[in-house]
Chain A
Amino acid sequence: GNSVTQMEGPVTLSEEAFLTINCTYTATGYPSLFWYVQYPGEGLQLLLKATKADDKGSNKGFEATYRKETTSFHLEKGSVQVSDSAVYFCALRPSQGAQKLVFGQGTRLTINP
């Protein structure tokens, strides 16, 4: 089946620290991979995506590289800000034409000034 596993949170960092949130997946075929973010009081928003192996998605200083050999899509940011505090969800879209998303359990990130 299809599943996504994220590192457990919560994660607390100081401003300007380096961030990594691990994500690994299990899927048949070649899924597309996503990171969604949920800021306090807001709905889920797409942060970045990658549709094939070795693709790198990037947005707002965040990056993630689709690694087929390790079935991973780790989220990274070189210098986090207080405004990055949110819950981050890794997700996949199974191949074979499926449109539904399969999400990980989410990682709550808190950035302290």
Chain B
Amino acid sequence: GAGVSQTPSNKVTEKGKYVELRCDPISGHTALYWYRQSLGQGPEFLIYFQGTGAADDSGLPNDRFFAVRPEGSVSTLKIQRTERGDSAVYLCASSLILGGTSGSSYNEQFFGPGTRLTVL
């Protein structure tokens, strides 16, 4: 079946502009995650959704970053007043519904190919 897809694959913008990055998760996956990967580094967690709500947004670096998932499927990561330091690959992942009430089980996160954002 289709995997996680992200659009656009590349985005070049100018400092101060607004950008939106889109993620289409695997059908039926209720959990969705955003990560940011700077050059030569591992992915850093930004935010994760369980259904329509943000269950953990502790990784968002500041209030210029915002993400939505209005219908519990597609998600959009929005960055206002972009800065050169925002340049990175933005990764999206999705997983099946979490199991149990304690959250102790793990459901594999399936990653998309990423959107490479370049802020000039």
Contacts and interface: CB of A to CB of B under 8 A. Distances in A.
B51 interface: no
A36 B42 CA distance: 10
Interface in B26-85: 31, 33, 35, 40-45, 48, 55-56, 58-59
Contacts of B98: 99
Given A98-B56, A100-B48, A105 B41 contact: yes
A100 B108 contact: no
A49 B105 CA distance: 13
B95 to A, nearest CB: 8
B109 interface: yes
A91 B41 CA distance: 12
Interface residues of A, number: 24
A32 B107 CA distance: 12
A98 B113 contact: no
Contacts of B42: 4, 89, 91, 103-106
A44 B43 contact: yes
Interface residues of B, number: 30
Nearest to B59: A100
B103 interface: yes
B43 A98 contact: no
A43 B114 contact: yes
A106 B102 contact: no
Contact of B109 (A51, A89, A101, A102): A101
A93 B103 contact: no
Contacts of A32: 106
Contact of B106 (A89, A93, A104): A93
A61 interface: no
21 contacts: A42-B113, A44-B43, A46-B108, A95-B104, A97-B104, A98-B56, A99-B48, A99-B55, A99-B56, A99-B98, A100-B33, A100-B56, A100-B58, A100-B59, A101-B33, A101-B43, A103-B42, A104-B42, A105-B41, A106-B41, A106-B42
Given A44-B111, A93-B106, A101-B33, 15 more contacts: A36-B111, A43-B4, A43-B91, A43-B111, A43-B112, A46-B109, A51-B106, A99-B95, A100-B48, A101-B43, A101-B45, A101-B109, A103-B44, A105-B40, A105-B42
